[in-house]
Amino acid sequence: MDSYNAPESTPSASSRPEDYFIGATPLQKRLESVRKHSSFIPTPPRRKIPQCSQLQEDVDPQKVAFLLHKQWTLYSLTPLYKFSYSNLKEYSRLLNAFIVAEKQKGLAVEVGEDFNIKVIFSTLLGMKGAQRDPEAFLVQILSKSQLPSENRQGKVLWTGWFCCIFGDSLLETVSEDFTCLPLFLANGAESNTAIIGTWFQKTFDCYFSPLAINAFNLSWMAAMWTACKMDHYVATTEFLWSVPCSPQSLDISFAIHPEDAKALWDSVHKTPGEVTQEEVDLFMDCLYSHFHRHFKIHLSATRLVRVSTSVASAHTDGKIKILCHKYLIGVLAYLTELAIFQIE
Amino acid sequence: MSVLRPLDKLPGLNTATILLVGTEDALLQQLADSMLKEDCASELKVHLAKSLPLPSSVNRPRIDLIVFVVNLHSKYSLQNTEESLRHVDASFFLGKVCFLATGAGRESHCSIHRHTVVKLAHTYQSPLLYCDLEVEGFRATMAQRLVRVLQICAGHVPGVSALNLLSLLKSSEGPSLEDL
């Protein structure tokens, strides 16, 4: 690891930080970006392009259909060290052995569980935003079928997949040995997630942390997903707020017809192709004032906990369910951004 | 009287009055209690208000420092603060107003982006303090700090005025080209 190079230019009144970093190492670039984030000067309102991009053409919707309509728990993952896509069979074998060993140690909870499991690593082609993004891969735990017939595929016990969609800000700052797949989604028993997490952490020197989504980001998601053009709506648009009060917190749920929500968004939306902070605030304020007019409750004083639209639904604890394959990449892009933000 | 002015009343002898404005009653009450526990040479008076304008029927002393408490978990408190700011005279912002953002510790509960509050404080040229008022230790430290600032604003510290303090508290990084 090369040492920190002294900056070339002498510190003068008008020196800008960018001048120091021509030909900087990734670490220096990283430090610079961290410094920029914590600058005192407020940055201009965040502008985001709504994802409405189509799924990559080479992905077969049938192949990714199993990703939809399932509840995934989100984690953010630091870059994996010396991970190689050609060793997937090897990894399957090692992870299989590890899981069996862990379960026999008695660390897993369920007693009398079937230990005949099979672990499969596979790549998910096309689950990426830009060409630079590393390939997504999938880990599945299947129960080995008791019947000797070859065709019978075991039942899937646990699924987890790693992906990176438009992860440029992270990709620029890491060196060659690392594979950046900051978003991890898991479905299945929590004990399995823990065991697999431990194995990855030991093998690739990475770190998992649960990705919570705060109310601010949930309202962005609500606005972006309402903005998506859909041919037909499969679910009502629903919000859930948690009111902090003692002894037990109160939950307020507000359901809107999706076409009404879209009409509201269209009246608020000004800049084509982009979603701005003001539009999101205005959209949510319209809902709040409508609710206040009828019920005299200030929803803005409560905490948004769950947002559910026809595109996807998200819960503040880091749970997500994607319903529409057309906007799958867009949803994942935003989640990747949140994951990268959490890592940094 | 719908607008608060800093110099429209005569000061009380050896008294310093602070006005805490915010929607979170419990937090304001706790902060007020912490401040009153502090050792202070001057007599402290703490007034609490949910929002401005203050009712004009009450006879109150001259207010030396206004602290707007914004809870980052609730957009309502930000909107309330913005509404109340309209009822404060411009000359108050020469060091006698301060913003306090609470709740930044629990990132998962935040509804307001930190930059919104930073921009608000920047627009009003007033210092922004962060403190998790729910935590006893932080609250006590912040109470101490506010008492010192209050003493300066009331003119009880010789040689330092509110405007002096304001220019000292301003960040050493000047506004860059991207700003506003």
Q: What is the pLDDT of residue A26?
A: 56
Q: What is the pLDDT of residue A11?
A: 41
Q: What is the pLDDT of residue B7?
A: 84
As a whole number of angstroms, the distance between CA B17 and CA B23 comes to 20
Interchain CB contact of A11 with B (< 8 Å)? no
Q: Domain ranges in chain B?
A: 15-163
CB-CB under 8 Å, B115 with A301: no
Per CB-CB distance under 8 Å, the chain A contacts of B176 are 39, 41
> Sign of torsion, CA A105 A111 A112 A114?
negative
A290/A152 same-domain check: no
Nearest chain A residue to B114 by CA distance is A42
Q: What is the pLDDT of residue B32?
A: 94
Q: What is the pLDDT of residue A55?
A: 43
Per CB-CB distance under 8 Å, the chain A contacts of B119 are 42
Q: Give the three-class secondary structure for A330.
A: helix
Residue A342 has pLDDT above 60, yes or no: yes
**Within a 13 Å sphere around the CA of B75, how many CA atoms are in the beta-carbon half?**
21
pLDDT digits (tens, 9 = 90+) for A97-137: 888 888 887 655 555 455 678 888 888 887 877 788 888 88
Greater pLDDT, A273 or B97:
B97
Option in B74, B176, B178 nearest A300 (CB) = B74
pLDDT digits (tens, 9 = 90+) for A201-227: 999 999 999 999 989 999 999 988 888
Q: Tokens 């509840």 label which residue?
A: A71
Residue A175 has pLDDT above 90, yes or no: no
* pLDDT, tens digit only, all 180 positions of chain B: 578 888 888 888 889 999 999 998 999 999 999 999 998 888 999 999 998 888 877 788 899 999 999 999 999 999 999 999 999 999 999 999 999 999 988 888 888 988 889 999 989 999 999 999 999 999 999 999 999 999 999 999 999 999 888 888 875 544 543 444
Q: What is the pLDDT of residue A3?
A: 40
A167/A183 same-domain check: yes
As a whole number of angstroms, the distance between CA A222 and CA A219 comes to 5
CB-CB under 8 Å, A42 with B75: no
What is the rounded average pLDDT for all residues in chain A? Answer: 79
The C-alpha of A244 sits at a distance from chain B's nearest C-alpha, in angstroms, of 11
Backbone angles phi, psi at A69, to 5 degrees: 60, 25
Nearest chain A residue to B172 by CA distance is A40
Domain containing residue A221: 213-316
A92/A177 same-domain check: yes
Which DSSP state fits A158? E
A77/A205 same-domain check: yes
Q: What is the pLDDT of residue B128?
A: 92
**A52 found inside a domain:** no
Residue A17 has pLDDT above 70, yes or no: no
A72/A205 same-domain check: yes
A204/A244 same-domain check: no
C-alpha closest to that of B64 among B167, B165, B136: B165
As a whole number of angstroms, the distance between CA B139 and CA B131 comes to 7
As a whole number of angstroms, the distance between CA B178 and CA A43 comes to 8
pLDDT digits (tens, 9 = 90+) for A288-316: 999 999 999 899 989 999 999 998 999 99
Option in B74, B109, B110 nearest A301 (CB) = B74
Q: Give the three-class secondary structure for A94.
A: helix
Q: What is the pLDDT of residue A38?
A: 46
Backbone angles phi, psi at A233, to 5 degrees: -95, 130
C-alpha closest to that of A334 among A314, A309, A308, A317: A314
- Per-residue pLDDT band at A36 (split at 50, 70, 90): low
Residue A84 has pLDDT above 50, yes or no: yes
CB-CB under 8 Å, B73 with A303: yes
CB-CB under 8 Å, B178 with A41: yes
Judge contact between A320 and A314, C-beta under 8 A: yes
**A133 found inside a domain:** yes
Q: Tokens 């990176």 label which residue?
A: A164
- Cβ-in-10-Å burial (0-12, 13-18, 19+) of A227 comes to buried
A170/A191 same-domain check: yes
In single-letter form, the type of residue at position A292 comes to H
Interchain CB contact of A297 with B (< 8 Å)? no
**Predicted interface score ipTM higher than 0.85:** no
**A26 found inside a domain:** no
A201/A68 same-domain check: yes
In single-letter form, the type of residue at position A291 comes to F
Q: Tokens 């859909």 label which residue?
A: A230
Q: What is the pLDDT of residue A194?
A: 92
What number is the average pLDDT over the span A323-333?
85
A66/A201 same-domain check: yes
Per CB-CB distance under 8 Å, the chain B contacts of A215 are 73, 109-111
Greater pLDDT, A7 or A190:
A190
Fold that domain B15-163 belongs to in CATH: Rossmann fold (3.40.50)
A84/A200 same-domain check: yes
Lowest pLDDT segment from A317-321, A328-332, B57-61? B57-61
Greater pLDDT, A154 or B154:
B154
- Cβ-in-10-Å burial (0-12, 13-18, 19+) of A79 comes to buried
Q: Give the three-class secondary structure for A251.
A: strand
**A334 found inside a domain:** no
CA distances from A195 to A160, A189, A275, B128 (A): 12, 10, 40, 44
A247/A167 same-domain check: no
Per CB-CB distance under 8 Å, the chain B contacts of A41 are 122, 173, 175-176, 178-179
As a whole number of angstroms, the distance between CA A221 and CA A242 comes to 18
CB-CB under 8 Å, A213 with B111: no
